[in-house]
Amino acid sequence: MDTILITGGSGLVGSAIKDISNNYNYNFIFSSSSDCDLTDLNQTREYFRKLKPEFVIHLAANVGGVFKNINNKVDMFEKNIMINHNVLKVSYELNVKKVISCLSTCIFPNNTQYPINEKMLHDGPPHESNDAYAYSKRMLEVQSKAYQTQYNKQFICVIPTNIYGPNDNFSLEDGHVIPSLIHRCYINKKHNEKFSIRGTGEPLRQFIYSKDLAKLIIWVLEKYKELDTIILSTSEKDEISIKNVGKLICKEYNYENNIIFDTNFTDGQFKKTADNSKLINLYKNFKFTPIEDGICETVKWFVKNIDKCRK
């Protein structure tokens, strides 16, 4: 039985892969920062040597929402560069058969035409709010392609849109939009306060439920034979405003008509519409979880696990 090492295995996507892992015939190893400091090359090398994985799903990263990206640019750049360098270098040294590394649509150029596709990744600078993180992730794709070209390695990158689901980071300050709003609405309702959303609520996003992404990553591992980067996303028609995301969250808490918008905060990038036509052409029958259902499940999980979840 082949071994798959998942870096960042205790995070949002790693946890989703764990939830579906019994459906696949692999020895899954879910690694977290407590198992190995991936910013340290020697630790990374020894850890990989001990486990001897045939495949690596590289999810580990220093991540956060727009305000963490704005306020921690050095950490966002340097830690991600070190993690990615070490994981790919050691995977090459140990002859790992295939590495799937996770990028993000937020690393695409700020000034671009929409929808964005896989070939447009390096066509201009990213939005200044997350430029340090974005460039570190772009370098992961550059490094992966270098290993493809020089050493004929199957080091593949996938680009999901905004991910959400159980086991997310529900931090009010450092979390992404859906988990942060789920936590904030919980607190606001508890104290009978207005549900305050930072910004205007007008920006548009495509969201992918974490278990959908987990299934697609295993599909990439098993079925995707190309070396080119691929976007893993819902369709453009599924794009939704932050305002309407807030309304869906309020509905789950039975706290509707209590939303206000704090326009003292930036909206970040207005839209990041991704073209998923390559994925749909290759995997025509994949069924995405409707965002209403995904938010319902995520709110239920948060309320049940509020005392022990990341926040």
The pLDDT tens digits for 64-75 are 776 777 787 998
Which one, of 208, 103, 130, lies nearest residue 162 by Cα?
208
Full residue range of the structural domain in which residue 20 is found: 3-164+206-236
**What integer pLDDT is reported at residue 72 of this predicted model?**
79
Q: Is 133 a catalytic residue?
A: yes
Q: Look at residue 17 and tell me if it is in a domain.
A: yes
Which one, of 12, 31, 30, lies nearest residue 160 by Cα?
12
The yes-or-no verdict on residue 51 having pLDDT over 80 is yes
**What integer pLDDT is reported at residue 282 of this predicted model?**
96
pLDDT tens digits, 261-270: 888 888 777 8
Residue 306 carries which side chain, given as an amino acid letter?
Answer: I
**What integer pLDDT is reported at residue 174 of this predicted model?**
74
Per the rule left: phi > 0, alpha: psi between -120 and 50, beta: everything else, 232 is: beta
Mean pLDDT of the chain: 93
pLDDT tens digits, 101-120: 999 888 999 888 889 999 99
pLDDT tens digits, 121-138: 999 999 888 899 999 999
User: 92 by DSSP, 3-state: which?
Assistant: helix
Q: Look at residue 251 and tell me if it is in a domain.
A: no
Q: Look at residue 21 and tell me if it is in a domain.
A: yes
Q: Look at residue 67 and tell me if it is in a domain.
A: yes
Distances (CA, A) of 92 to 44, 106, 120, 261: 12, 27, 27, 48
pLDDT tens digits, 172-211: 887 789 999 999 999 999 999 998 888 898 999 999 999 9
CB 250 within 8 A of CB 295: no
Q: Look at residue 304 and tell me if it is in a domain.
A: no
Q: Look at residue 28 and tell me if it is in a domain.
A: yes
The yes-or-no verdict on residue 13 having pLDDT over 80 is yes
**What integer pLDDT is reported at residue 239 of this predicted model?**
94
**Per the residue annotation, which of 26, 114, 133, 186 is the catalytic one?**
133
How far is Cα 92 from Cα 154, in angstroms, rounded to an integer? 10
- The tokens for 222 are 């098993």
Q: Look at residue 290 and tell me if it is in a domain.
A: no
Residue found under tokens 């008509």: 257
Per the rule left: phi > 0, alpha: psi between -120 and 50, beta: everything else, 249 is: alpha
Looking up residue 75, the CATH number of its domain turns out to be 3.40.50.720
Q: Look at residue 245 and tell me if it is in a domain.
A: no
CB 107 within 8 A of CB 122: no
Count the domains in the chain.
1
